[in-house]
Amino acid sequence: MMSKGKIETVFMAMVIVVLAVFAVANYAAIMQTKGSIAQDASPVTNASGEVIHVIGHQWAWTFIYPNGTQAENNLVVTVNTRITLIVNSSDVIHDLYIPQMDIQSYAVPGQNNTVSFTPTSTGQFFFECVEYCGEFHYEMRGYLTVIS
């Protein structure tokens, strides 16, 4: 029978080892997928691939493509292309969330957050605003279409 202090030490050591593994895995994952993490870039310097400006406003998302065309709550991108979204807001704080692409970025007024992803399959996906932004917050959602 081990003493109480020893049992506690062993237990704590086990917990610390498990958490250390998690922390290292997390660090490695972040280093590999740096681009998919929302980062403040005002002025924008780290954009790569096709750059799409996203402006959140009460209560819709406006997407501005490189050629100047605009779309509301509807994003169309090409498969296997690197996409960089520059997310901004014209009124309050919003949060662009595309679950199937595993990206998420706050839309903060006065700040350009950049986030990148590469769609690998075609189809229709959805995006939502997940930061509460006023009366019709739930209507800030739409579809992401990936075409070939």
Partner 1 sequence: MADYSTLMLTSGVILSLIGIVAFAIYYIIADRKAKLAEMARERGYQSTAQFYRDFVANKKRRISWNIMVDNDARSLGLRYLLTSILFFFIAGTFGLGMRLSLTYNVPQTFFTFLTPDAYNILLTEHATLMIYMWAVGAAVGLGYYLLPSHLNLTRDGRGGYSSIAYWIWLFGAIIFLLSRSSFRWYLYPPLSLQLSQNGGGLFAWMGILGMIFIFIGLLIVAIVIVQIILFDRSKDIKLGKMSLFSWSILDTALMMIVSIPPILVGLTMLMYDYYAPIFFTASAHNVLLFLILFWWWGHPIVYIAVIPYFGIIYEIIPRFTGTSIYSYRSGVLGLGLLTILSMTVFGHHLLNSGLGVAWDILFETTSFIVVIPSAITVFNWIATFWQANKIRLTTPMLFVLNGIIDFIIGGITGVMQVYQPVNQLVHGTYWVTAHFHFIFMGITVGITMAAVYLLFPLITGGRMYNVLLARVHFYLTAIGSMLMSTAWAVGGFLGMPRAVAGYFSWFQAYQDASIIGGVIIGIGQLVFLANFAMSWLKEPTTSDESILEKPFAVPGVDA
Residues that bind partner 1 in the complex, under the rule CB under 8 A:
4, 7-8, 11-12, 15-16, 19, 22-23, 25-27, 29-30, 33-34, 36-40, 42, 58, 89, 91-93, 95, 97, 99-100, 102-106, 108-111, 113, 126, 128-139, 141
CB 97 within 8 A of CB 126: no
We find the least distance from the C-beta atom of residue 4 to partner 1, in angstroms, to be 6
Measured from the CB atom, is 68 or 91 closer to partner 1?
A: 91
Distance of CA 17 to the CA centre of its chain: 30
Query: Nearer to partner 1 by C-beta: 2 or 69?
Result: 2
Residues 56, 75: Cα–Cα separation, whole Å = 13
Classify 127 as helix, strand or coil: strand
| Pairing state between β 70-72 and 123-129 | unpaired
Rounded to the nearest whole angstrom, what is the least distance from the CB of residue 34 to partner 1 in the complex? 6
